[in-house]
Amino acid sequence: MDICSEIARRLVGFANGEPYSGKNMKWKSAIFKILGDVGRGHGFEVCHGPCGGLFPNSHEYLCDLIWRSNTGGIELAAECEFETAAKLLEDFRKVVDVKSPLKLLIYTVPRRKDSGKDIRNRIEGYMAQYTGHVAGEQYLFVEFGAGNDHRCYSYVVPNGGTVGSVSLLPMQLAS
C-alpha cells in the first residue's frame, strides 16, 4: 500500500468511528497521533507542537506536523484546519511553500450538495498560479464531511514551475 493510501485509510477509518462536533481538539489530537505513528513507522522523525505534546521532544516546525528524514529533508508537510475557508487557504499556502515530496491538507466541510467543491476549486486555482512547483510532489487532501461523508483527493505535480491547469483526483479507498 502506498503511503498516501495508508494515511487516507487510517484517517477516514478514524473519522468513521468518531463523531465530529465543531472545534474538537480530540479529533486533531487523534489525527496528529495517526500521522505520527505512520511517519515513525516509516522511519521519520515527527515534529509537531499543539494538542498536548503527543510526541516527546518534538515541536511544531513550519507546519502543524512534518516528517523529517535522517538525511535532513522534510518528507511530509501537513496542515489540519477545521476553521474558516480563509484560514484553510492560508494554511494550505504553507504546505505548498514547504519543499517536501508529500503534502497533506486535512479539513472539514459541511456536507450540502458537495460543499467542499468551492474549497477544492480555490485550491486548484491557487495551485495553477503557483510558480514554484517541483515535479513529482504529491498532494493528499482529506476532506471530512458531515454524516461520515469523507472524501480524499490527490494530485501529483507533472512538471516544475507553473503547472497551468490543476484537477484534484478523487481517491477510491477500498476497504
Question: Cell numbers of 99, please?
Answer: 519543499
Which conformational region is residue 70 in: left (phi greater than 0), alpha (psi within -120 to 50 degrees), or beta?
Answer: alpha
What share of the chain has pLDDT > 90, as a percent? 53
Are residues 66 and 53 in contact, defined by beta-carbon separation less than 8 angstroms? no
> In the chain, what's the furthest Cα-to-Cα distance?
45
Alpha carbon distance 76, 69 (integer Å): 9
What is the average pLDDT score of the chain? 85
Alpha carbon distance 49, 64 (integer Å): 7
Give domain limits for the chain. 3-170
Model pTM?
A: 0.86
Per-residue pLDDT at 161 exceeds 90: yes
- pLDDT tens track for 21-59: 655 677 888 899 999 999 999 999 888 764 344 555 555
21 vs 110: which has the higher pLDDT: 110
Alpha carbon distance 32, 35 (integer Å): 5
What's 148's DSSP letter?
G
Buried-state track 116-154, b at ≥16 Cβ within 10 A, e below 16: beebbeebbeebeebeebeeebbbbbbbbbeeeebbbbb
pLDDT at 71: 84
Closest CA to 127 of 168, 166, 92: 166
pLDDT at 15: 86
- pLDDT tens track for 85-107: 888 899 999 999 999 999 999 99
Cβ neighbours, 10 Å, residue 79: 23
Alpha carbon distance 170, 9 (integer Å): 13
What's 26's DSSP letter?
H
Across the range 99-122, mean pLDDT stands at 86
Q: Which of 47-61, 81-95, 103-117, 129-143 has the highest mean pLDDT?
A: 129-143
Across the range 140-151, mean pLDDT stands at 87
pLDDT at 35: 94
